Chains A and B, each alone.
With several copies, the nearest count.
Chain A
Amino acid sequence: MKRRHVNKAVVIGTIGADAHMIGGWVLEKAFREAGFTVAFLGAVVPQQEFINAAIEIDADAILVSSMYGMGLLDCEGLRDKCIEAGLDDILLYVGGTVAAPIELEKNWPEIERRFREIGFDRAFPNTCTAEEAVQALKTDLGLE
């Protein structure tokens, strides 16, 4: 992927009707500590809000948290909206307990396949620590 300049800025929030925000809150702390600018949108965040915030802070990545199980449904279309908004090369990560059916949630390769299919760059299970998330983004941004 051709990478734009790196701004060390991320958007974090929980998508859809999902009210969980503790994971995002922990991520926010970790990314700030690692020197990132963070737009933390909390929970119950519509797709468009992620994009608006990304534009506002000139984000390198949108970190979508989805805990309540409808992540696959809620994330469909986000990549298209990014492209529409001119954020063609922004990194899209998703993480959490993203799939309601346990058959899927325990079949991580299939989850990753599905998210790649809808334009996400990475998907993280909820055993991912905040430090691991920071590390992954640094790697993808060529920061370390």
Chain B
Amino acid sequence: MTQKIRNQRLSDEEFQRIRREEVLPQWETGKDIEDLDECIAAAKELSQGKSHALKHQEAEDRGIHLLMPQFGRALTEYTIEGLQHVEAEGLAPDGVWIIFSDSYTRKLDFERAAAGIERSRQEGMSMLNGWPIVNFGVEEARRIRRASQVPLTLNSTDEDGRLASEIALAAGWNGANTRSLQECVAHCKDIPLEEEIRINQYESRLAAIYTEKGVPICTHNACNLTGYDSPGYRSFVVVSQSLLGAEQGIKYQFLENGLNMNLIQDIAMVRVTKRLCQEYTRRFGYDVKFFTGGYPFLGAWPPRLEEANAMIAWNAIIPILGDFTTAILKSEDEAFATPTKEGMAGSVRLARHLLTLMGTQKMPESEESRLEEAMIELEVRTLLDKCLEAGDGDMVVGMCKGVEAGWVDTMLTPWKYNKGKVMVMRDAENAVRYFDPGDIPLPKEVLDYHREKLAGREKKEGRPLDFQMVVQDLQFASILPKRQPPSIQAE
């Protein structure tokens, strides 16, 4: 990449040029959505009463929580069948779907996606890990839209989700994401951050155009990342992305925060993230409405029903107690395959009953929560401000410099531009702490705080911290206990 990218809104001409030359030609189904105004008009009708943005606004007004399960199968029939099953079992009306596309689609390998569809038909099973939205095109996506009672959002996250989002939005789904670092770190290998940002400026602009023309789009602004990242890094990613999306004109963002499993830390992370998104977007003169969601644990899950249910419950309780708008759900199938309809219906029932049981209970503020928030906030502000400084007030320029220099860094990603000097570890309360902060500019008091917390684990386990623990932590929630056969037999 030689082209220098900045945080700047795409002009209408530039947008149209990219659409025509880069995006729609990616696959043959692009030609069915050439007329953008027609698409927007159709979307307006199709998403009537099923708008992600408005559903969230309504939930906030009513003081309730939404549930957000996930589903996606290689064939449209399977996908519709699954959605309807789960909706009937308790998702509707206060729910929203995340529908996966498959990983070939995400890598723009539509030939292999086509082969996967064929293969799925032959085998009578879903041989792809999601619904290949681009291969099926806009009319099939509209069929799904009509078959469901609740808002649909698309998860087709990777380097380039533009065509997938175009099709989804034109079908009355909520398709778009506010992404940059999130994608590089989670799913990419070779793409430079500049190029990823350029691609996603288009997608954000697309969402903004729909919004401006009367179809409010609420993008997902996620920090699932590698599934094992410090809360400060997660929060930084979301706040920086919020600025990128806002510049393109996005008015609603759903902050999808990957949870690390510590109640206080996770809630603190989400509160700080939302607060800083508001503060920084305002500072730059944008006007954006933010909703919050908790994305369930993204490390290895246990391969047994009861342990999975413990995960499902704890991952719903954190968002409820944290007063996030939405609890995203995984299922008992997590360790094996993408969720089945039965598995997802089970999670919805479990989470719904938690909502019944818990009423409007919330986690109160405490000294501990204030301290945790203060520490995360300090870390994130330091990073944000360093970016803005390095970028001369331009977040995009600063982020790119930060990654290059390694002071924006995380641990375990396939992305070659990440330095990977950072090392994180769980403390005794399973909060994620820096074991080694690498080159990130962690304020001394934050580093001391993390060290102190890790010392607590050292004390609890009665052995010094070492690299082996870092490795073990990756599977802390997936290893099942050994059976304990009776030592004394009944007589």
Contacts and interface: CB of A to CB of B under 8 A. Distances in A.
B405 interface: no
Contact of A127 (B123, B125, B303): B303
Contact of A73 (B127, B186, B187): B127
Contacts of A126: 300, 303, 335
A18 B128 CA distance: 12
Contact of B189 (A44, A101, A127): A44
B103 interface: yes
Nearest to B112: A73
B127 A102 contact: no
Interface string B127-143: 11100000000000000
Nearest to A20: B414
B259 interface: no
Interface stretch (A2-10, A64-72, A82-90): A64-72
A42 interface: yes
Interface string A101-115: 111111000000000
A22 interface: yes
Nearest to B416: A42
Interface in B381-416: 412-414
B358 interface: no
Contacts of B228: 22
Interface string A2-40: 000000000000101111011001100100000000000
B104 interface: yes
A68 B112 contact: no
Given A19-B188, A22-B412, A70 B337 contact: no
A69 B125 CA distance: 12
A100 B109 contact: no
Contacts of B240: none
B309 interface: no
Given A72-B127, A73-B119, A127-B303, A100 B189 contact: no
A106 B340 CA distance: 13
A72 B122 CA distance: 14
Contact of A42 (B189, B338, B471): B189
A127 B307 CA distance: 14
Contacts of A68: 103, 129
SS class, residues of chain A in contact with chain B: loop
A21 B333 CA distance: 20
B451 interface: no
A44 B190 CA distance: 10
Main secondary structure of the interface of B (DSSP, over half): loop
A16 B104 CA distance: 9
A29 B471 contact: yes
Contact of B336 (A29, A72, A73, A105): A105
Given A42-B189, A70-B128, A73-B127, A17 B107 contact: yes
B337 A42 contact: no
B336 A25 contact: no
B486 to A, nearest CB: 23
Contacts of A25: 412
A19 B158 CA distance: 10
A61 interface: no
A78 interface: no
B337 A99 contact: yes
Contacts of A102: 333, 336-337, 340
B221 interface: no
Given A101-B125, A101-B126, 10 more contacts: A21-B414, A42-B189, A42-B414, A69-B128, A69-B129, A70-B129, A73-B115, A97-B335, A100-B338, A105-B337
Interface of B: 74, 102-104, 106-107, 109, 112, 115-116, 119, 123, 125-129, 158, 186-189, 226-228, 300, 303, 333, 335-338, 340, 412-414, 471, 474-475
30 contacts: A14-B414, A16-B103, A17-B103, A19-B158, A19-B187, A21-B412, A22-B227, A25-B412, A26-B471, A26-B475, A42-B189, A68-B129, A69-B103, A69-B128, A70-B102, A70-B103, A73-B115, A73-B116, A73-B119, A97-B335, A100-B125, A100-B126, A100-B128, A100-B338, A101-B126, A101-B337, A102-B333, A102-B340, A103-B125, A126-B303
